[in-house]
Amino acid sequence: LQPPGERLVVTGRAGWMGMGRGAGRSALGFWPTLAFLLCSFPAATSPCKILKCNSEFWSATSGSHAPASDDTPEFCAALRSYALCTRRTARTCRGDLAYHSAVHGIEDLMSQHNCSKDGPTSQPRLRTLPPAGDSQERSDSPEICHYEKSFHKHSATPNYTHCGLFGDPHLRTFTDRFQTCKVQGAWPLIDNNYLNVQVTNTPVLPGSAATATSKLTIIFKNFQECVDQKVYQAEMDELPAAFVDGSKNGGDKHGANSLKITEKVSGQHVEIQAKYIGTTIVVRQVGRYLTFAVRMPEEVVNAVEDWDSQGLYLCLRGCPLNQQIDFQAFHTNTEGTGAHRLAAASPAPTAPETFPYETAVAKCKEKLPVEDLYYQACVFDLLTTGDVNFTLAAYYALEDVKMLHSNKDKLHLYERTQDLPGRAAAGLPLAPQPLLGALILLLALLLVFC
């Protein structure tokens, strides 16, 4: 991985696929996803919309809306629309590999199919799920595509874990550690053998250290006869109900329906079911920013080939020590001081229009009557951002815990996890600090007298 916050590029068998005149639409259909991998996880501040162009072209040339032949006028119209989309975003895509790959690919296809640059264009249409009876909707999917049936046929129900990220941002790990982190820029939440999740956090206000999630990318890796590789991407004010290629399930394989996207509330709440790995993901947009929650079996959580390289897998290891904020100490210092707190205790600049402490407490109490860490996170966010939507972010994060966490006794957490140096990255259990001090003193005495 490159340093957090830098542009992250995932390498693989990606790039423009050279195609002869008879290559056909099937080869072309894979290209938008492959081109995306050339430039995965672009910086959240980039307004380049090449992925949107890719998705619209894929939607116009596949599924029930596909032209009968690649040499039809409809196919050329789709190419012209694709080219127009790239021209509109050209100014903001300089230096973007996916953009330049798309431009050269369009030129090649226009030439191969004798398409004129002048002519009608097609309107982008979202690809729809096939009707009942289609191979993508079969109920007789292979057993391997249902996690509980395939991996635990003769054993107890798997142990499910939960991870969530919300607000300024607050992280609840798979091991129920609760942390508030800076983590500005791009950071990996999950990185295992089955999927990758990366978030990008940006400043809530110019010059402020308070950040929130503005972009989310999920890559579901190709899995046996169940699903093709699929990429989901959400940004501020853009919470799609489909993968970047326009599809809503796992592709053309026999068990494709074991991966599905469902839109719960338009533009606000999306749920992704990946039954082949027993995983449920909830993505929300609350106000301007995104929240993330996942339910995943421990077996999948720990399916990591190179354990030593997983130091920045935040859902598993937590935030690095130098990225953590002690918001409970801030909460204590702020209580009774009105709208502002002492500068010496401030982990982040106060927003220009913040709430008085009493008002923040009252607003959070309305949605979060239990004074647990979600309530405290709510108060912290209102005091650092001045954005009342962060109240809802904490509320929905707790609602997602209630839906996704397998242990109902652990819904509410009351003590923030504070890592010791050297333990945050290793994911080691925390030792009580007084006991640790006593052990060190005992060792020193033994060295002196023995």
| Kind of pairing between the strands at 230-235 and 211-220 | antiparallel
- Neighbour order of strands in the sheet with 195-203: 185-191, 195-203, 211-220, 230-235
Domain coordinates of the chain in residue numbers?
Answer: 49-113, 144-318
CA–centroid distance for 184 within its chain: 15
Q: What is the pLDDT at residue 62?
A: 65
Q: What is the pLDDT at residue 278?
A: 94
CATH architecture designation of domain 144-318: 3-Layer(aba) Sandwich (3.40)
Q: What is the pLDDT at residue 310?
A: 53
pLDDT averaged over consecutive 10-residue blocks of the chain (450 residues)? 38 33 37 40 57 78 55 82 86 78 87 84 43 40 79 68 96 95 92 93 84 95 90 94 93 90 95 96 96 95 72 85 77 49 38 77 95 94 91 97 91 69 37 42 48
Nearest CA-CA partner of 60 in 112, 118, 128: 128
Ordered alpha helix ranges (H), 236-356 = 298-301, 314-317, 327-334
Residue 256's Cβ-count burial label (10 Å; 0-12, 13-18, 19+) is: buried
Q: Are 146 and 258 in contact (CB under 8 A)?
A: yes
Q: What is the pLDDT at residue 233?
A: 96
Determine if residue 98 is left, alpha or beta; phi over 0 gives left, psi from -120 to 50 gives alpha, anything else beta.
alpha
